[in-house]
Chain A
Amino acid sequence: MSTPAAQFNQDARRLSADLRHRQTIQTAMGKYEVARDQRKVAFQDWQAARQMAAETKWEAVNHLDRHLEQFVRNIEARGAKVHWAGTDQQARDLILGILREKNARVIVKSKAMTSEEIHLNEAMEHAGYEVVESDLGEFIVQLREEPPYHIVFPAMHLTRDEIKDVFQRKLGDAPSNNPEELTMVARRVLREKYLQADVGITGANFAIAETGMLSITENEGNARLTAALPRTMITLVGIEKVLPRLDDLALFLPMLSAMGTGQTLSCYNTLYGGPRQPGETDGPEEYHVVLLDNHRTALLADAEQRDSLHCIRCGACLNVCPIFRNVGGHTYGTTYCGPIGAVITPNLRGLDDWKHLSYASSLCGACSETCPVKINLHHHLLQNRRNASRQKPSWWQKIAFKAFAPVATRPALWSLVTKMGRLGQKLHGLVKSSRLDPAYAWTKTRDLPPIAQQTFKEWWRTRS
């Protein structure tokens, strides 16, 4: 079996040479960038907004116990049942238990990365339930039997023709490759599912401690319908999603929309505080909230990288990442891809298997720069590298640095070696890019700039 690192290298090599794939991603990102920048400049002070959001999230995460207890107290007082899931297995068992108790048959889901994280669909399908993803992008990748490509745009890697093909194959209905007609096919199919479904499952973007509410941001209305029509509703939410106050949303909702999709506000920003309340005539009779840890507390224990739990999953860091834009979302082989995925996956799933993701970075810092809650993403990638080399030092790096240190600390030796380097580079030119080149693995796709004919010190001595 290939390791995650080997799979990553193989897929990255294939996809970065796939020009059609790159074209699809560049086109989608081009549209996103224009819209995002329009929204950012509409803010009177975007940088101050980022700082406020970061401090609010700091407060939420660094007093998580207090805010979580307040959230639970408030939403339970309104009739919701809260479940605490320490692991992915516990979360799946809890949800399957609710489905059994309700004699459910058809489950309709709105987009939830937490459910991808715990492989909920597979578990429910394996147990015999009919599970339908209702977000259009998620519906498409579900039909194609593949994971979402991007945490906000699950089907952004597909062309309209590929979507037409899968609709034709799986639904027997694809009048054309026109995006509007294809959307209407999905609308017809899913309408019936909302009405049939016994249970609706959602994720959540924010959990409000002050009022005991879950906030869901979406554009299609699929989460609204999932939360309105089935008799039982389940929300699976990571414990780090908590925000202290209802008012905080006045800042977070427009920031999430601006960075996630380049909108002033996404079409539906909805708060759910419990099941149907006295005097209400629709909505679920039962509301279950499943709080998911699944290694989040391990990340919380790392004070250095704790701020990676501030993430609001807007996907902005993926969109600006030169690595993501070349290798694509599936290459990561993880639920959370891009810079944030490269930071948290080694912490959530083991450094040894996933440290390679922290090397898939140019350390350009575009991710940290764009992050609306100011997560120090590219520094965390460096910290992961440091931790990995501490945990399992590499023998050749040790030798290399043993050799480098005495040279670098002796000016005479250093100057001799740089002179030799100039000569060495000339000789290297004879074999470069051929199999005789000892550095072939590195030089076959890269050029080394020529070493200057004169060092700074030489120049300084001879300047007039």
Chain B
Amino acid sequence: MSDRDNMLARIREALSVAAPLPGHDHATARETPVLSDIADQRRVLPAVGQSFDEQLALFRANATELRADFRLLNGVEALAAELNGLRVAEGWQRAASHSGDLTGAACRALGLPVLLTDQAFDKRELAACDVGVTGCDALVAQTGSVLVTSRSSGGRALSVLPPHHVVLARRAQLVPDLPAAFALLKAKYGGGYPSMISFITGPSRTGDIERILVLGAHGPKKLTILCL
């Protein structure tokens, strides 16, 4: 027998005796567990408001608490102005990004040499960039998270290797909660998922030294979310 067959045989043998359902120590009240659906999850998870404005306010509050920089902009011109403001303030010399409608506009506005991760690239060159500019799949109001994937955000490294991650999003990408984010992933990629899907919730952080918060442990020290 193969290792696989051996292990599966051990598992089946072990499961031949039934275990009680959780919450019922002595007698099994029900035969089968209740698997939660989206409505059940929404009943127990942290509340989000009904309206778009409430959800936007919640996203902003969460992002601010996480020390991400969230800016709501009006139009692509405003985007160019914000990015150039950041470029000057932080002295960016080199940027990295990927092709896309918002990222394309951002790169043109920056006027810097840009490493694009759509084609094969040298990871050391990416590590030397000051900023990674990416798109995203969604903003999650409930948690203040940015949902990125290897397909929507220029691969695996772009959103985590440069010291500053700038996310470009549109207002319509705001989703209320985690169940909605997973539903969106299924609808968008159900036929073939990207190899990496990540909920980014604030800039990289650690509390491993005396539980004191330090930003930028290994990933980006700064996370800026520009929402059009």
Residues of A at the B interface (CB closer than 8 Å) are: 24, 27-28, 31-32, 42-46, 48-49, 51-52, 54-59, 61-65, 68-69, 72, 78, 83-86, 90, 134-137, 140, 153-156, 158-160, 163, 179-180, 182-184, 186-187, 190-191, 194-195, 211, 213, 219-222, 224-225, 227-229, 239, 244-251, 253-254, 261, 263-277, 279-283, 291, 293, 297-298, 300-301, 303-304, 306-307, 310, 373-374, 376, 379
B211 to A27, Cβ gap below 8 A? yes
Q: In the bound complex, what is the Cα–Cα distance between A52 and B38 (angstroms)? A: 12
Closest to B34 in A: A55
CB proximity of B20 to chain A, nearest CB, Å: 8
Q: In the bound complex, what is the Cα–Cα distance between A267 and B214 (angstroms)? A: 13
B45 to A379, Cβ gap below 8 A? no
Task: Tell whether B220 is near chain A: CB-to-CB under 8 Å.
Answer: yes
A221 to B219, Cβ gap below 8 A? yes
CB proximity of A165 to chain B, nearest CB, Å: 13
A229 to B43, Cβ gap below 8 A? no
User: Restricting to B182-200, which residues have a CB under 8 Å from any CB of A?
Assistant: 182-183, 185-186, 192-200
Q: Do A44 and B47 contact each other (CB < 8 Å), given the known contacts A64-B15, A245-B35, A306-B19?
A: yes
From B75-83, B85-93, B102-110, B148-156, the one touching the partner chain is: B148-156
Name the A residues within 8 Å of B37 (CB-CB): 247
A195 to B219, Cβ gap below 8 A? no
Name the A residues within 8 Å of B203 (CB-CB): 267
A68 to B11, Cβ gap below 8 A? yes
Q: Do A264 and B23 contact each other (CB < 8 Å), given the known contacts A52-B36, A195-B123, A253-B199?
A: no
Closest to B202 in A: A267
Q: Do A228 and B14 contact each other (CB < 8 Å), given the known contacts A58-B19, A59-B33?
A: no
Task: Tell whether B64 is near chain A: CB-to-CB under 8 Å.
Answer: no
Name the B residues within 8 Å of A291 (CB-CB): 7
Q: In the bound complex, what is the Cα–Cα distance between A306 and B16 (angstroms)? A: 12
Q: In the bound complex, what is the Cα–Cα distance between A68 and B44 (angstroms)? A: 28
Closest to B195 in A: A277
CB proximity of A328 to chain B, nearest CB, Å: 15
A69 to B8, Cβ gap below 8 A? yes
B44 to A56, Cβ gap below 8 A? no
CB proximity of A72 to chain B, nearest CB, Å: 8
Name the B residues within 8 Å of A269 (CB-CB): 145, 198-199, 201
A160 to B198, Cβ gap below 8 A? no
Q: In the bound complex, what is the Cα–Cα distance between A379 and B22 (angstroms)? A: 13
Residue-wise, chain B 11-41 has the 8 Å CB interface mask toward A (1 for contact) of 1111101111111010000000111111011
B123 to A264, Cβ gap below 8 A? no
Task: Tell whether B227 is near chain A: CB-to-CB under 8 Å.
Answer: no
Contact of B199 among A86, A155, A270, A300 (CB under 8 A): A270
Counting chain B CB atoms within 10 Å of each CB, which of A134, A179, A227 scores highest? Answer: A179
Contact of A250 among B178, B192, B200 (CB under 8 A): B178
Q: In the bound complex, what is the Cα–Cα distance between A373 and B149 (angstroms)? A: 29
A-B contact pairs, 25 of them (CB 8 A): A49-B44, A52-B41, A54-B22, A54-B23, A59-B33, A64-B11, A68-B11, A78-B195, A136-B206, A154-B208, A179-B210, A187-B217, A211-B193, A220-B205, A221-B218, A225-B218, A225-B219, A250-B177, A253-B178, A254-B178, A265-B145, A269-B201, A281-B118, A281-B120, A281-B121
Residues of B at the A interface (CB closer than 8 Å) are: 2-4, 6-8, 10-15, 17-23, 25, 33-38, 40-41, 43-47, 62, 117-121, 123-124, 127, 142-145, 150-151, 155-158, 160-161, 177-179, 181-183, 185-186, 192-212, 214, 216-220
B46 to A225, Cβ gap below 8 A? no
Q: Do A84 and B36 contact each other (CB < 8 Å), given the known contacts A155-B209, A219-B206?
A: no
Q: Do A222 and B197 contact each other (CB < 8 Å), given the known contacts A46-B44, A247-B38, A264-B144?
A: no
Name the A residues within 8 Å of B205 (CB-CB): 219-220, 267
Q: In the bound complex, what is the Cα–Cα distance between A218 and B62 (angstroms)? A: 18
Q: In the bound complex, what is the Cα–Cα distance between A282 and B115 (angstroms)? A: 14
B22 to A264, Cβ gap below 8 A? no
Q: Do A293 and B196 contact each other (CB < 8 Å), given the known contacts A225-B160, A249-B182?
A: no
Name the B residues within 8 Å of A28 (CB-CB): 210-211
B197 to A270, Cβ gap below 8 A? yes
Name the A residues within 8 Å of B62 (CB-CB): 264
Q: Do A191 and B127 contact each other (CB < 8 Å), given the known contacts A56-B35, A134-B218, A374-B22?
A: yes
